[in-house]
Amino acid sequence: MNPKAIVGKVRRNATPQTILSVVFICILIYVVLVPLVIMVHETLIVHPMERFQIPGSMPGDYTLSHWKRTFSEPSSYSFFYKPLLNTLIISTSLAVLSLLIGGVLAWLVVRTDLPYKKFISNIAIVPYIMPSWAMSLAWITLFKNPRIGGSQGLFQFLTGISLPNWFSYGMFPIIVTLSLHYFPFGFMLIAGALRNIDSQLEESAELLGASRWQVLRKIVFPIVTPVIFSTFLLTFSRGLGTFGTPAFLGGPVRTYVLSTMLHANLVGQRPGIGYLVAFVMILMGILILYMDHKLLGARKSFVTISGKSGKSELTKLGKLKWPVTVLVIAFLISVTVVPFVVLTIDSMMLIPGNYSLDNFSLHYWIGPASTSIGLGTGEPGILRNPAILNALANSFKLGLVTAVITGVAGMLIGYTVVRTRGTVFSKFLDQLAFLPYLMPSIAFGSIFLALFAVPRGPIPSLYGTFALLVIACSVKYLPFASRAGITAMMQIGPELEEAATMVGAPWSKRIRKIILPLQKSSFFSGLLLPFISAMRELSLVVLLVTPGTQVATAITLRYTDRGWYPYTNAVMVLIVLTVLLTTALSRKLMGTDLAKGIGG
């Protein structure tokens, strides 16, 4: 080819979408792939505080001692294998339980004549909107026993029964509370799949003489199997990365999982091991993505393709109708309203453990700093505590900024991926933007710690800055936004833009006058999920916050460490309120349907 032809080709291919895709790929490589390399490097060197653990080493020396300690020394069991086992048990049980609860609920709502369906669907996603460890705080408040320090819980106050340790702390409550947080996930995905099954598939089976149960077993189950697998894997991977719940419920009885182990090592004396644990967690996350993709990628299609869904006949619950209804609603109330009320009540009890009316006080909300009232912490009530108000404001700001950044980035990525479809760029960008989804949150946080703790090239050290939190959250929630962006862009045929090209509208005009107006509503409704996620995030930011950039969720952790539960609970009530109000507001104003965004 002659030079002129090459120049012409390059110039024509340098369309805005190709340039954008290259830019995004570069950024994502820097914030997603490069840190992985840095992380591996961190597991191979001696950190300053590790100098004395490894005799004769200097900081920065290369060493295999972290790897040995983690994988092949007697101490490995408590450092790694035991937490790994715990993690696997928790994630598996969590995934199974969420599937069961979510699946049954989905079937009831979509396929039976259960009443109040709308109400039930709405309230069923509330546990997912609340921070995952709100549930664990409520659990502790309800069921804690005085044996492991502190006061009695509400349950013991009311009944006089002191619960055994295994019920109050450790694996059992971790699994239960996490399942109660993640079952909405299973509910929404399976309900979506059930709704999308073409009713003709079932009708033709019925016409051939299959009974209701046979239809369910032979037609419906096989069709939703891929979704069930997929939900299982996604919930499982969430279980891997979660930090707050095992920290609150496992800490007191020294039950460690990978995430708490990672945190303890990273902020403690053994960052090398912390990074190694993070690396293992990320590998597990990527393995899950790969499994999801390979095992189910092809089969998945037959659920999503059949958009034509006639109304299939609802199974009559008959005599069971009202008992089931009461059961479902009671269950949903006990996982939404009850925890919230429990936390609220606890935050208003002056002496912890005494839930009588004369102990009622707003001291932890609006009281002055005092060393003699209540817990005598010397901290003012949370509404008078500038540090907490500041942290709340930070959380809100973090949610807002993250939402806008991911929203814009997600839309642009959606545009780029769809418009360059069929090229390597498109595929690569799509996958790269989805990668953070499966990186366990706390490990992802440690990636950013590794990446931004020191200045690299033109980028200064961002540790201790608000920007670091924003970047971490934005990248972590990008998968939601980019998936939403891709879906939204798919609905805008390329001809709409080409028609403008034909009359000579340049790219900027096409974006401004055609794409943006058409994307407006999906853009705004896409802001909600990242906002909520960032507001309630703990696992991701726990390693990145500093006193100057404290966020509300991380502050609760500090109070819990000191046993100051009323403060923790009060802050938690505020976080939950903010999140719920925002959700309700955006639903009212923009008709946002959260269920649409979570599917991933």
Partner 1 sequence: MANIVLKNITKRFGQVTAVDNFNLEIEDGSFATLLGPSGCGKTTTLRMIAGLEDPTEGEIWVGDQCVFSSERGEYVPPGKRKMGLVFQSYALWPHLTVFDNIAFGLTIAKRPASEVKSRTIAIAKVLQIGDLLERYPSELSGGQQQRVAIARVLVMEPEVLLLDEPLSNLDSKLRMDMRAELKRLHLETGSTIIYVTHDQLEALTMSSHVAVMDKGILQQWAPPMSIYSEPANIFTADFIGNPRINLIDGVLVKSGEAWEIVAGELRLPFVSQTGTTSVREQKVTLGLRAEDLFLSREPGPDLFEGTVYSVLPAGSEWYIKIQLGEEVLTATIYSDMNLKIDEPIWVGVFKDKIKCFDQEDKLL
**Rounded CA separation 63/276 (Å):** 13
Closer of 498 and 561 to partner 1 (Cβ)? 498
Closer of 59 and 591 to partner 1 (Cβ)? 591
Q: Smallest distance, Å, CB 505 to partner 1?
A: 5
Q: Smallest distance, Å, CB 5 to partner 1?
A: 5
Q: Smallest distance, Å, CB 411 to partner 1?
A: 16
Stretch that binds partner 1, among 6-14, 258-266, 410-418, 576-584 (CB under 8 A): 6-14
Task: Count other Cβ atoms within 10 Å, centred on residue 478.
Answer: 28
Closer of 160 and 422 to partner 1 (Cβ)? 422
**Rounded CA separation 289/286 (Å):** 5
The answer to the question of residue 427 lying near partner 1 (CB under 8 A) is no
Q: Smallest distance, Å, CB 420 to partner 1?
A: 13
Closer of 8 and 548 to partner 1 (Cβ)? 8
The answer to the question of residue 7 lying near partner 1 (CB under 8 A) is yes
Q: Smallest distance, Å, CB 396 to partner 1?
A: 32
Angle at 181 between CA 385 and CA 336, to 5 degrees: 70
The answer to the question of residue 5 lying near partner 1 (CB under 8 A) is yes
The answer to the question of residue 4 lying near partner 1 (CB under 8 A) is yes
Single out the residue of 582, 470, 576 nearest to residue 133, CA to CA: 576
**Rounded CA separation 419/91 (Å):** 38
Closer of 497 and 537 to partner 1 (Cβ)? 497
The answer to the question of residue 458 lying near partner 1 (CB under 8 A) is no
The pair of three-digit structure tokens given for residue 460, joined into one six-digit string: 């200064």
**Rounded CA separation 485/434 (Å):** 12
The answer to the question of residue 12 lying near partner 1 (CB under 8 A) is yes
Q: Look-up: residue for tokens 């028609």?
A: 499
Single out the residue of 532, 417, 519, 428 nearest to residue 473, CA to CA: 532
Closer of 58 and 502 to partner 1 (Cβ)? 502
Closer of 207 and 502 to partner 1 (Cβ)? 502
Closer of 11 and 294 to partner 1 (Cβ)? 11
Q: Smallest distance, Å, CB 595 to partner 1?
A: 25
What Rg value do the Cα atoms of the chain yield, rounded? 26
The answer to the question of residue 422 lying near partner 1 (CB under 8 A) is yes
Single out the residue of 408, 397, 399, 441 nearest to residue 531, CA to CA: 399
Burial of 315 (0-12, 13-18, 19+ CB in 10 A): middle
The answer to the question of residue 8 lying near partner 1 (CB under 8 A) is yes
Roughly how many angstroms between the first and final C-alpha of the chain, as a whole number? 44
Q: Smallest distance, Å, CB 490 to partner 1?
A: 14
The answer to the question of residue 195 lying near partner 1 (CB under 8 A) is no
The answer to the question of residue 313 lying near partner 1 (CB under 8 A) is no
Task: Say how many residues touch partner 1, by CB under 8 A.
Answer: 26
What is the per-residue DSSP string for 310-321?
Answer: --PPPBP-GGGH
Mark residue 314 as left, alpha or beta (left: phi above 0; alpha: psi -120 to 50; beta: remaining). beta
| Footprint on residues 482-521 left by partner 1 (CB under 8 A) | 493, 495-496, 498-505, 509, 513-514, 517-518
| Footprint on residues 518-547 left by partner 1 (CB under 8 A) | 518
Q: Smallest distance, Å, CB 512 to partner 1?
A: 11
Main-chain dihedrals φ then ψ at residue 459, nearest 5 degrees: -95, 120
Closer of 208 and 502 to partner 1 (Cβ)? 502
The answer to the question of residue 100 lying near partner 1 (CB under 8 A) is no
Closer of 411 and 451 to partner 1 (Cβ)? 411
Structural contact between residues 436 and 444, judged by C-beta atoms closer than 8 angstroms: yes
Structural contact between residues 434 and 483, judged by C-beta atoms closer than 8 angstroms: yes
* Burial per residue of 276-292, b for 16 or more beta-carbon CB atoms within 10 angstroms, e otherwise: bbbbbbbebbeebbeeb
Binding footprint of partner 1 on the chain (CB under 8 A): 2, 4-9, 11-12, 422, 493, 495-496, 498-505, 509, 513-514, 517-518
